[in-house]
Amino acid sequence: MADCVAIAPEINFRQQIAETLQHAARSMPQAEQVATREMLSSFDAELKQGDDQKMKQDMIKKVVGTFVDTQGALKAAKEGENESSHVLLNYTLAQNFDTNGEEYAGLVKSLVDAVRAGGEKAVADGRTAKAESAARILTNTYNLLPASSPLRPTVLLALVQLLAASDDLAALPISGVSAALAQWSVSEADKVAFLTQAAAVYEKAGKLDSALTLTLLALERDVNAKTAEHALALALAQNDRFDLDDLLKVQGVRDVLTGKAAELVALFTSVDELEAVQKAAEWTKANGAFVSGLGVEGLDADEVLRKVRLIAIATLAARSASKTIAYADLTSALGVPEDEVEAWVIDAIRAGLLEARLSQPLSSVRVISVSSRATRRFGSEEWQLLERRLKEWKAAVDDALTTVHEAEALAAQGPITNTRPRRRQEQPAQTENN
């Protein structure tokens, strides 16, 4: 989203009130539209007596009330009219109220809540165009507010909630949230509250990666055990995430993750990848209730053990000098029957941890490559393996160069032809004529 400035037509205050009020009336039942016309006539009578600021503000409040009562006045009007009317109403508010005052903030928030509610109602009724119009209204409202406005978090959260209801959160990338947080003139506590609520919306929608990103931003501002444990659960619940680096690099997180949470972290950070399988099997059996209690859908003791096993498969693949792993070795490392080995390897391949080919006749796995996401340390074993493979690559390159040089030398000799002496053509015997 980008900041913008409202370009309002040169119409007087009475016309501004009339335009917005008539727009709201089109979303009302016929009987109630009569009341809005009477309200406008009342405004005209009051304006003839004078146009002091208090009178103007009272009129605007009544107009805002009609928008709130009609849930953003989205029903009857065309989508373009919806957006232009809200831009005009926001302009009228900003021109007649102190934009730093509580009264102005309260009116903007009530309008935002009404539009969100109207958009969610449109989603429920299957009126996609109206829901999209509501999202654009909220986007415009956000962009019309100054970058430092303390109202921006409220508007953005309402937009996130509406897009979640529309199953369209992808339309709002969260990459710019960090920059926005730095601009908002709100307390750190308010920023944390916004991030926590927005993260909850993304989590409920199944967008765990975005939920984790927002939760980590909250942790950077307020490190506490509850939020850290929830971030840990969000990381482990993601099917294709096998590291905790983003979480653990937040300053102070390791200190607040204690007890069972620290034990869970250790399975993915401190314990040797192969030894971790047995420890994880024992730990998850004893602490399944703790894992489920972290409250993130999709995360349970079985998922923790699955991740540890997949990391073990990738570790075996990375440490294999021959790039071949026997099923028997996998059975031993994973603690599963041999007839389940192939399913586990396929799971690791689908998770993007490695590329490999299975050979049922040979009961082995041929490793093609291993993802860097699967390895978390580089110790003496890894250095020795790297040295051995570098020597193999060097030998292979030397052989290739030798072949190239031989080919070049052969080419320099010019074309080689196999020639045989040509037989002299036999002349036919001549007879002498006597």
Q: Tell me: the pLDDT tens digits for 255-278? A: 999 999 999 999 999 989 999 999
- Look up the pTM and report it: 0.81
- What percentage of the chain reaches a pLDDT higher than 90? 66
Q: What is the β-pairing status of strands 324-326 and 354-359?
A: unpaired
CA distance 178 to 198: 13
Query: Over 70: is that where the pLDDT of 131 sits?
Result: yes
Q: Hey, how many other C-beta atoms are within 10 angstroms of the C-beta on 387?
A: 10
Query: Over 90: is that where the pLDDT of 10 sits?
Result: no
Q: Of 14-18, 22-26, 50-54, 291-295, which has the strongest mean pLDDT? A: 291-295
Q: Which residue has the tokens 């009219």?
A: 81
Nearest to 132, CA basis, from 74, 73, 176: 74
Asked if residues 272 and 206 have their Cβ atoms less than 8 Å apart, the reply is no
Is the domain spanning 271-377 CATH 1.10.10? The answer is yes
Asked if residues 2 and 48 have their Cβ atoms less than 8 Å apart, the reply is no
CA distance 26 to 87: 17
Averaged pLDDT for residues 143-171 = 96
Give the tokens for residue 209: 């990666």
pLDDT band at 411 (very low <50, low <70, confident <90, very high): confident
Query: Over 60: is that where the pLDDT of 94 sits?
Result: yes
Averaged pLDDT for residues 327-354 = 96
Asked if residues 314 and 353 have their Cβ atoms less than 8 Å apart, the reply is yes
